Structure 1
């Protein structure tokens, strides 16, 4: 009985040792295979990462991406600054252009319909529309030197043109103001005084005329018709022959 117990114990120990040995070998084998598996899994993760996603397992890549992001951010800031400067320049240009347009638009709006080319459409000043040929002329009998005639033409036309321009530049605006005020007073007087007074006189004279015509038709017209009928048969003859004595 003792031998069987010892044999059973030794057999059980051997069985336990045999049973434990492959377990240890499997764990060691798995431990040896884990780094290779980790590398494979890391590669698969890196390959399966989509565009725009970051792989946090590689710090070098993260630093490079950060640098790239910083550079892209700096480029974006520069582009934004350039865009802002361009916008500011455009706004300044638009403001200056709008100021010029406003001044031009005001002048253009107040001078709509003004004929700048033909400034005397109604021919008011045709009497002074005179050129050099209308004022000075040499007949065929008396011709001076050609250079003198040409210089006289230049002096006449130039002096008339530039002196008129200078005087108009100095006095046109104040005289335009004066004549505008005078004609505005005339129109004001005619609109608010003369025309209403004349209209009142027309009304009163209309009634006076009507009464006067009625009186004449009832009193003087029958008498005049009767006297005209009495002298209607009277005939007068006129003889121009001379009578000799």
Structure 2
């Protein structure tokens, strides 16, 4: 009986391992298909961050009449671009993936809230407000309707004449 029980445990573990492997394979294929769709050339197709134009010429400029030495200006250009590019790449290397994961989770949570909470709540509110609109209209028709109708009849019987003076 012990070997049969052991064989059952092994086959159950093998089945679980196979299911886990299939699940991971699906996840990785999803990640790879998503990665294939990323445009590595135009990384801001919607111009979200055009305001972050940080070319050397957009940040530093020497007006006519006051110039540094040419070697200082050339080396400043090189140092500016090197420092900006190196620091940006190091920061994105260390933090970019985690920040992207964070924002992905935030937008997933926002989508979940809208799909499962906010939109249904708004629909309930619309349904209840339709009932309230009907109730309010009935009250206005009952209470204010006769007064407005009377005022209308009273004012419609008035005749205005113009006299020159």
Q: Could you say which TM-score interval applies, normalised by the shorter chain?
A: 0.5 to 0.7
Structure 2 counterpart of 1:171: 95
Following TM superposition, the consecutive aligned residue runs of length 4 or more in structure 1 with deviations greater than 4 angstroms are 105-108, 231-234
Match of 2:155 in 1: 230
Larger relative contact order (Cα-Cα within 8 Å, sequence gap ≥ 6): 2
How far has the Cα of 1:222 moved from its partner? 4.8
Is structure 2 residue 25 aligned with structure 1 residue 129?
no
Shift of 1:207: 1.1
| TM-score, L = length of structure 2 | 0.67
Deviates further, 122-131 or 159-168: 122-131
Q: Aligned-residue CA RMSD in angstroms?
A: 2.6
Q: Of 29, 35, 40, which aligns to 1:116?
A: 40
Identify the residue that residue 75 of structure 2 maps to in structure 1: 151
Structure 2 match to 1:188: 112
Deviates more, 1:181-190 or 1:135-144: 181-190
- Of 214-223 and 120-129, more deviation after overlay is shown by 214-223
Is residue 210 of structure 1 aligned with residue 134 of structure 2? yes
Larger Cα-atom Rg: 1
Consecutive unaligned residues of structure 2, counting only runs of 5 or more, are 1-28, 161-165
